[in-house]
Chain A
Amino acid sequence: MRRLRQAVRFVPLALIAACGTKKDSARSIIGYAQVSSVAALDEARDGFFKALADSGYVRDSSITVLERNAQGDIPTLSLIMSDFIQQGVTQVATVSSVATQAALKAITDRPIIFGAVANPYIIGAGTSPTNHRPNVTGAEIPLPVDSAVMLAHEAFPEVKEWGTLFDPADPFAEFYLEKAKAGAAAAGVRFVTVACTGPGDIASGIQALKAQGANGVVQIPSVMIGGAFSAVVKSTRQADMPLVATSTSFGGAPIALGLSFYANGYSMGLLMIRVLRGENPATIPFQAERRRRLVIDLNAAREYGVTIPATIVSRADSVIGGTGASVTSTVGARITNQQPVRRGNNPFGFWLVAVTQGLAYAALAWGVYLASRTLHFADITPDGSFTLGAAVAASLIVGGTDPLLATFVAVLAGMVAGYVTGVLHTRLGIKDLLAGILVMTALYSVNLHVMGKSNVSLLDVGTLVRDVHRIIPASVTWSDDLSLGVLFFAITIVLGLILAWYLRTDFGMAMRAVGDNPAMITAQGVDRRRMIELGLALANGLVAFSGALIAQQQGFADVGMGVGTLVAGMAAVIMGETLLFKRRGLGMTITMVAAGAILFRGMVSLALRLGLNPIDLKLITAVFVLAALALPKLRYSRASGSASR
C-alpha cells in the first residue's frame, strides 16, 4: 500500500520531468535503486537518507528522489535504470553490488554513487580507490571476514574446524572465501566450505558442513544466504555448531563482527552531497568503511548453549540481552511463548531432516498426482502455489495467527490459485499449460505482496512444532527435528486416508472419470468443467499445504522457493509409479506416490551428502526423472502393442 501511494505521488513528478521544462532542470532528481529489502541494505538506505537530511536536503521539497526496489528480482534492476534515464534523473544512487552493476552497465553520462558494495573492483567500477570510472564514486564495505574467523577461534578455542556456506552465483564469494581462509590460517584452524544454490538448501548445507568435520560456522556475507539467515541460525543451533556472523545486520548469531551498513550508507550520502554541490565524481576517491562493529547476543548464546568469554563481551559495541533480571524481564513476553529449542545429538539427524522434508513433500506429490494423473491436466500452478502456501502461512504466523489456522488459510489460498487456473482453462479456453504459467507468474507478485518482502523468517515464533511440544508429555525429550518428523508422519497418514476415502466417494469417482474419459462422464450428467476447476483447487490446496509445512520446517518462506516444485512433484509421482511396477489399487497408488516423495528428497540429500557439487543437483534431478520415465517404457516396449493405450 505504502509503495502504491509512493508510486502515485511520483506520477506528477514524472510528468514534469517528461515535459523537461528548463526551470525544473536545475533541481536535482536522484534515482535511488536497491536490489531487495534485506536488513543490511535497508540500514545503508537509512544512513544514506539521514546524511542527506542532515545537510538540509529534504526529500520532496529541496530534492526529488525516485526510490526503487527490485524486490529481489535482479533483471528488474536494468528496467529501473532505463526508467531513471527516461525520467531524467540527475544522479543515481545504488545500494548493493547488483544494483551498482546494473547502473554501471546502463548509465555512463551522469554520476553514480554506490553503497553497500563489498568490492567495487570485482564488479568493474575501477581498479583502485582513485583510478575509477569518471562518473562513479561510492562507499565500499569490505567486511572483515578474516578477523571474524580469528575472533571465532578466540571465543570458541575448543572448535578446531570451522566452515561456511557460500553462494557460487555470488560475485564476492571467492573474495570472501579467501579472506576467511586467510583468517583460519592465521588462527591455525581448518576451514571447510559447502556451496549452496538456494535458500532451500541451507539446512542440508549445514548438515553437509558437519559431515565434513566442521563444528562451528563463520558465515561469510552473501545476499542470498543473508536473506535467509534465520535458516542458518536454526540449522546451526540444531546441529550444535556455534555461529559467528560477519555482518551485524544478521540477527540470531551469538557473535557478529561486521561493519556498520548504516555508517556506510551515511558515507555514501556525504559523497552524494559533494556531487550535488557540483564536485566531479572522477576526482572523488572510493571510501572504504573501516569502523568495525562487534555485537554480542547473549540471548542467542543461551539458545546455542554457549558462553562467550567476558574479555570479548567487554569489547562489544553492543550487547543484546544480559544476565540481570531487569534485562530478562524486557524480553519476558517473548520467552514465555518460547521454549528453548530441543536439540538431540542424533547421528541420523541428517536423514531425519531428509525424511521429514520428504513427508512434507507427500502432499505436493498428491497434488501433482491429482492434476496430472486424475484430471490429465498439465498444471504448472504448483511452482507458484507452493510458495503461496509458504508465504501465507509464514506471514500469518509472524502476525500472531495460530499456526494451525495459518496453515489452514494457506490451503485455502492455494485452492483459490488452482481454481483460477481451472477457470482460465474451462471458461476462457486457454490451454492448460498456458493457464498454469499465467497464474504462476501472477502469483510471484501476489507472494511478494503477501510477505511484504522477499523472505519471511519463522525463527523464534510458534510454528506447528511448538504445538507438538505442547501436546506431548514433558518426559518425552524429542528434539525439534524428531517432533517435526513425527508430526509430519501423522499428518501424511491422515491426509492419505482422507484422500483415499475422497477418491472413492461418488463425487471423487466422478472426478477420476473426468480425466479418464471426458465423453463418458459428460454422458453421466457430470459438468466436466466444474470438475476440472474443483479438482485443480483441491490439487493446489494440497500443494500449498506442502509449502506451508516446508516453511515451518525450514524456518522461513522465500519468494524463490517454488522454483522446480512441479519437477519435484512429478519426480515423486513417477518414482511412486515405478515402485508400483504395475497397476494396483487406489490406496496402494496413494501410498507409493508419498513414498516417491520421500525417496526423491532422499536422493537429493544423498547427492548432497556424497559431496556432489550442488550446482549439478538440478541436472542430476532431471537425469533421474528421465531415467524413471524411460525405464518402464524400455521394459514394456516388447509388449507395447497392447499396453500403449
Chain B
Amino acid sequence: MIEIIGLEKTFVQPGGERVIALRGVDLLIKSGEFVTVIGMNGSGKSTLLNAVAGTFLPDAGTIRIGNIDVTRQPEFQRAALIGRVFQDPFKGTCPSMSVAENLRMAELRGVRRGLRVGLSHSSLERYHALLSGLKMRLEGRLQASMGTLSGGQRQAVTLLMATLRRPQLLLLDEHTAALDPRAADQIINITNQVVREHALTTLMVTHSMEQALEQGDRTIMMHRGEVLADLSGTEREGLNAGDLLQRFTELRYTIEFAVAKPPGG
C-alpha cells in the first residue's frame, strides 16, 4: 500500500519566479495495483514520480511506502523499496560497465555492499536465464559493456534491474517515450510480464492516452499539479483515447473557470 497525502512542491526558478508543481496531491495505491498517470507537459506527473522516488523533498505532505514514512528519507535510502526505470535509456545503467556488472549492482539495491567479488558463476547463469526470458537476444551479451546496447535493449535491462530485487513500488517514468515503436511495444510487453509475474505495485507515467488506458488497472489524470480524475473499474472499462481527451477538456475547463473566478485569487 502506497499513501500519498497532501503532497505540495513549489520550485523557484533561477530568475526568482515560483512555479507550483504539486498542489496537495492525495493518492492511495493498493498493493499490487498498476496505476497509469497521464497529463500534459508541466501537469506535475513526473514531479509526482520524482517526489515519491526522493529526487527532491516535498514542501508539505506525507509519503508512505508499505508502513514506512519515507517523506524525509534521502533518495538512496528509500531506493531499498523502489525500483525505477527512467525515460532516458542512458540514465538507468552504467555505460562503461558490463551488463552482468549492472545486474549485480541492481541485485544489491538497498543491501550493504561488501568487499566480496559478487559476480560468481552461479549469478552469471541466473542472469543468463533472466535475459533469455526477455527475448531480446541479450543473453549472449552478459560481458558486453552496457554502452554498446541499443536504447530498447538498455530499457529492457533497466526494467530487469528494477525488479531483480522485488521492489515495494515500481516507478516507470515514460520509459518507452524515447524508443522506436517496435522497441516500445517490446518494452511494454516485458513491463506487463514482470508486473503481473511478481504482482508489483506500479506507478507508470505516460503521455500516450492509449497506453494509459490499455495498461494497468487504474488511470490518474493530472493537471496543474492536481489530480483531475481518477478512473478505475467499470468507469474506466470501454473508454478510448477520444473519450478520455473529451473528458479531460471538460474537466480542465471547469477547473480553470473555477480557479479564475475568485477575485485576487
Q: Is the C-beta of A522 less than 8 angstroms from some C-beta in chain B?
A: yes
Partner of B105, one of A519, A524, A527, A583: A524
Contact A520 B116 (CB under 8 A): no
Contact B109 A524 (CB under 8 A): yes
Chain A residues lying within 8 Å of B108, measured Cβ to Cβ, are 506, 510, 524-525
Contact A526 B76 (CB under 8 A): yes
Chain A residues lying within 8 Å of B74, measured Cβ to Cβ, are 527
Chain B residues lying within 8 Å of A504, measured Cβ to Cβ, are 117, 119
Chain A residues lying within 8 Å of B113, measured Cβ to Cβ, are 505-507, 509-510, 526
| Most A CB within 10 A of own CB, among B53, B97, B105, B119 | B105
Contact B96 A522 (CB under 8 A): no
Contact B105 A522 (CB under 8 A): no
Closest Cβ–Cβ distance, residue B203 to chain A (whole Å): 15
Of B14-22, B87-95, B208-216, B235-243, the one with at least 4 CB within 8 A of chain A: B87-95
Q: Is the C-beta of B9 less than 8 angstroms from some C-beta in chain A?
A: no
Closest Cβ–Cβ distance, residue A452 to chain B (whole Å): 38
Chain A residues lying within 8 Å of B95, measured Cβ to Cβ, are 516-517, 645
Contact A506 B118 (CB under 8 A): yes
Q: Which residues in chain A, 245-288, are within 8 Å of chain B measured between CB atoms?
A: none
Of B39-47, B77-85, B177-185, B186-194, the one with at least 4 CB within 8 A of chain A: B77-85
CA distance A519 to B55 in the complex (A): 9
Contact B97 A509 (CB under 8 A): yes
Closest Cβ–Cβ distance, residue B119 to chain A (whole Å): 7
CA distance A508 to B96 in the complex (A): 14
Q: Is the C-beta of B104 less than 8 angstroms from some C-beta in chain A?
A: yes
Q: Interface size on B (CB < 8 Å)? A: 36
Q: Mark B53-78, 1 if CB is under 8 A from A, else 0.
A: 10000000000000000000011110
Contact B119 A520 (CB under 8 A): no
Closest Cβ–Cβ distance, residue A496 to chain B (whole Å): 16
**Beta-carbon nearest neighbor of B83 in chain A:** A523
CA distance A505 to B110 in the complex (A): 16
Q: Mark A507-550, 1 if CB is under 8 A from B, else 0.
A: 11110110011011111111110000000000000000000000
Contact B92 A523 (CB under 8 A): yes
Chain B residues lying within 8 Å of A636, measured Cβ to Cβ, are none
Q: Is the C-beta of B106 less than 8 angstroms from some C-beta in chain A?
A: yes
Partner of A512, one of B77, B91, B94: B94
Chain A residues lying within 8 Å of B118, measured Cβ to Cβ, are 505-506, 509
Closest Cβ–Cβ distance, residue B114 to chain A (whole Å): 6
CA distance A506 to B106 in the complex (A): 11
Chain A residues lying within 8 Å of B76, measured Cβ to Cβ, are 522, 525-528
**Beta-carbon nearest neighbor of A526 in chain B:** B76
Contact A525 B97 (CB under 8 A): no
CA distance A507 to B161 in the complex (A): 18
Given the contacts A502-B115, A505-B117, A509-B101, A520 and B109 also touching, CB distance less than 8 Å: no
Closest Cβ–Cβ distance, residue B98 to chain A (whole Å): 10
Chain B residues lying within 8 Å of A519, measured Cβ to Cβ, are 86, 91
Contact B101 A505 (CB under 8 A): no
Given the contacts A505-B115, A505-B117, A507-B113, A521 and B105 also touching, CB distance less than 8 Å: yes
Chain B residues lying within 8 Å of A583, measured Cβ to Cβ, are 96, 145
Chain A residues lying within 8 Å of B145, measured Cβ to Cβ, are 583
**Beta-carbon nearest neighbor of A504 in chain B:** B117
Contact B92 A513 (CB under 8 A): no
Interface size on A, as a range, is 20 to 34
Q: Which residues in chain A, 335-359, are within 8 Å of chain B measured between CB atoms?
A: none
Q: Is the C-beta of B111 less than 8 angstroms from some C-beta in chain A?
A: yes
Given the contacts A509-B97, A509-B105, A512-B94, A522 and B75 also touching, CB distance less than 8 Å: yes
Chain B residues lying within 8 Å of A524, measured Cβ to Cβ, are 79, 105-106, 108-110, 161
Chain A residues lying within 8 Å of B106, measured Cβ to Cβ, are 524
**Beta-carbon nearest neighbor of A505 in chain B:** B115
Q: Which residues in chain A, 438-452, are within 8 Å of chain B measured between CB atoms?
A: none
Closest Cβ–Cβ distance, residue A500 to chain B (whole Å): 10
Partner of B104, one of A506, A521, A527: A506
**Beta-carbon nearest neighbor of B92 in chain A:** A520
Q: Is the C-beta of A501 less than 8 angstroms from some C-beta in chain B?
A: yes
Contact A501 B117 (CB under 8 A): yes
| Most A CB within 10 A of own CB, among B74, B75, B94, B116 | B94
Given the contacts A506-B116, A506-B118, A519-B86, A525 and B101 also touching, CB distance less than 8 Å: no
Chain A residues lying within 8 Å of B104, measured Cβ to Cβ, are 506, 509
CA distance A583 to B116 in the complex (A): 25
CA distance A599 to B76 in the complex (A): 42
Partner of A516, one of B96, B109, B119: B96
CA distance A583 to B109 in the complex (A): 28
Contact A523 B84 (CB under 8 A): yes
Given the contacts A522-B76, A525-B80, A525-B110, A505 and B116 also touching, CB distance less than 8 Å: yes
CA distance A8 to B79 in the complex (A): 54
CA distance A524 to B86 in the complex (A): 13
Chain B residues lying within 8 Å of A521, measured Cβ to Cβ, are 94, 105
Q: Mark A622-645, 1 if CB is under 8 A from B, else 0.
A: 000000000000000000000001
CA distance A512 to B104 in the complex (A): 13
Contact B114 A520 (CB under 8 A): no
CA distance A425 to B110 in the complex (A): 24
Given the contacts A524-B105, A525-B109, A525-B111, A516 and B80 also touching, CB distance less than 8 Å: no
Contact A510 B105 (CB under 8 A): yes
Chain A residues lying within 8 Å of B79, measured Cβ to Cβ, are 522-525
Contact A520 B94 (CB under 8 A): yes
Partner of B93, one of A505, A508, A520: A520
Chain A residues lying within 8 Å of B77, measured Cβ to Cβ, are 525, 527
CA distance A471 to B94 in the complex (A): 46
Chain A residues lying within 8 Å of B86, measured Cβ to Cβ, are 519
CA distance A524 to B104 in the complex (A): 10
Q: Which residues in chain B, 132-181, are within 8 Å of chain A measured between CB atoms?
A: 145, 147, 161
**Beta-carbon nearest neighbor of A373 in chain B:** B96
**Beta-carbon nearest neighbor of B143 in chain A:** A585
Known: A520-B92, A524-B108. 8 other contacts (CB 8 A): A505-B113, A505-B118, A508-B115, A513-B97, A521-B105, A522-B75, A525-B109, A528-B76
10 CB-based A-B contacts, threshold 8 Å: A507-B114, A509-B101, A509-B104, A510-B105, A510-B108, A520-B93, A524-B79, A525-B77, A527-B77, A583-B96
Interface residues of B (CB under 8 A from A): 53, 74-77, 79-80, 82, 84, 86, 90-97, 101, 104-106, 108-111, 113-119, 145, 147, 161
Task: Give the 5 A-B residue pairs with the shortest CB-CB distance, closest first.
Answer: A525-B79, A525-B110, A506-B113, A516-B94, A506-B118
